[in-house]
A = this chain, B = another copy of it.
Amino acid sequence: MSDLEPSWDFYRTFLTVMQEGSLSAAARQLGLTQPTIGRHIDALETSIGFQLFIRTPQGLMPTEAAVDLKPHAAKLASNAAALLRAATGHGPSSSVGVRGTVRISASEVIGIEVLPPILAALGEAQPDLIIELSLSDDVEDLLHQKADIAVRMAPPTQDALLVQRIGGIPIGLHAHRCYLEANGVPQSLEGLREHRFIAFDRENEFTRSLRKLMPFLNAVRPVLKADSNLAQLALIRAGCGIGVCQVEIGRRDPDLVHILQKELALNLQTFLVMHENLKTTPRCRITFDALVAGMSAYAGK
């Protein structure tokens, strides 16, 4: 093993190869060429003294060691991205407000149905502010600095985080007007059994708590399953059946009908979370405050 520390760029190459699965794909991703990527991996393997990939004509197969090292490399990538994001806040400003990039993590539904108007107003007030939206349900975004601010539906467990409780976002059963005209409006929860129900594909924390609150759901035979809340919403809008979505989203769409309002009324607890380190960073603070205000107004309706 060489005693020289390998180039940090090799770690980036290694991570990309792990993500893409082949030297050629990694080369495309990084804007380099396949021989270069191959040389980087060769150099890294020589440097650390053991093999990272088994070469096959179909691509590369990572060794056990490579799998172990991947999370470290991923953390490096997060750090590098965070550094670059922080750097965008220091350039020469073209106006009076804050500048720089803030990365927000949120669920798909929140990011697509709720945040856009809030972010539009924020962008109006802060023209030099760049917002990155990362839509996924990953919980560990903030820990690894994959995002600066996160919208969460569960209280965060980690400390050293600045947490602002937004309040409950009401959710309920919805269906398209046309669907109800064709299939009738259920008058009770038991009546749902006669309908096409849109449910979750995979179980997660949310669905489990939902089942605990509404045991009758176990009896409902779901005829449509979708993993993404966004897809569920699209299915509801397309008149495929009855499903669960945020009440406020239903109100905005004149074709959606909120059914069994009294029988099923739930609140989705919502939190805004930010690294404590960032609370003194103007662009993050301003974005955080704008999100608190916007989300609170949304939840209060």
When chains A and B are docked, how far (Å) is the Cα of A1 from the Cα of B90? 12
Cβ-defined contact, B83 with A76, below 8 A:
yes
- Give the size of the chain A interface in residues (CB under 8 angstroms): 37
When chains A and B are docked, how far (Å) is the Cα of A157 from the Cα of B158? 11
When chains A and B are docked, how far (Å) is the Cα of A9 from the Cα of B6? 10
CB distance from A193 to the nearest CB of B (A): 44
- Tell me the dominant secondary structure on chain A's binding face: helix
Picked from B6, B91, B157, the residue with its CB within 8 Å of the CB of A49 is B91
A80 in the interface (beta carbon within 8 A):
yes
When chains A and B are docked, how far (Å) is the Cα of A8 from the Cα of B80? 7
A189 in the interface (beta carbon within 8 A):
no
Residue on B nearest A143 in the bound complex, by CB: B160
When chains A and B are docked, how far (Å) is the Cα of A80 from the Cα of B14? 13
Cβ-defined contact, B91 with A72, below 8 A:
no
Chain B residues lying within 8 Å of A160, measured Cβ to Cβ, are: 158
A48 in the interface (beta carbon within 8 A):
yes
A84 in the interface (beta carbon within 8 A):
yes
A151 in the interface (beta carbon within 8 A):
no
Given contacts A8-B9, A158-B160, contact A80 B76 (CB under 8 A): yes
What does the 1/0 interface line of A74-98 toward B look like (CB < 8 Å)?
0110011011101111111000000
Picked from B4, B12, B80, B87, the residue with its CB within 8 Å of the CB of A48 is B87
Chain B residues lying within 8 Å of A73, measured Cβ to Cβ, are: 83
When chains A and B are docked, how far (Å) is the Cα of A68 from the Cα of B86? 8
Copies in the complex: 2
A65 in the interface (beta carbon within 8 A):
yes
Residue on B nearest A66 in the bound complex, by CB: B90
Chain B residues lying within 8 Å of A253, measured Cβ to Cβ, are: none
Picked from B48, B75, B84, B89, the residue with its CB within 8 Å of the CB of A5 is B84
Given contacts A79-B75, A80-B11, contact A50 B91 (CB under 8 A): yes
Chain B residues lying within 8 Å of A159, measured Cβ to Cβ, are: 157-159
Cβ-defined contact, B69 with A8, below 8 A:
no
Q: Which residues of A contact B (CB under 8 A)?
A: 1, 4-9, 11-12, 31, 48-50, 64-65, 68-69, 72-73, 75-76, 79-80, 82-84, 86-92, 157-160
- Besides A8-B11, A68-B89, A68-B90, 15 more A-B contacts (Cβ < 8 Å) are A1-B91, A5-B84, A6-B84, A8-B8, A8-B76, A48-B84, A49-B87, A64-B90, A65-B87, A68-B86, A72-B83, A72-B86, A75-B79, A158-B159, A159-B159
Q: Supply 29 A–B pairs (Cβ within 8 Å), ascending by A.
A: A1-B91, A4-B31, A5-B84, A6-B84, A7-B9, A8-B8, A8-B9, A8-B76, A8-B80, A9-B9, A11-B80, A48-B91, A49-B87, A49-B91, A49-B92, A50-B87, A50-B90, A50-B92, A68-B86, A68-B89, A68-B90, A69-B83, A69-B86, A72-B83, A73-B83, A75-B79, A76-B76, A76-B83, A158-B159
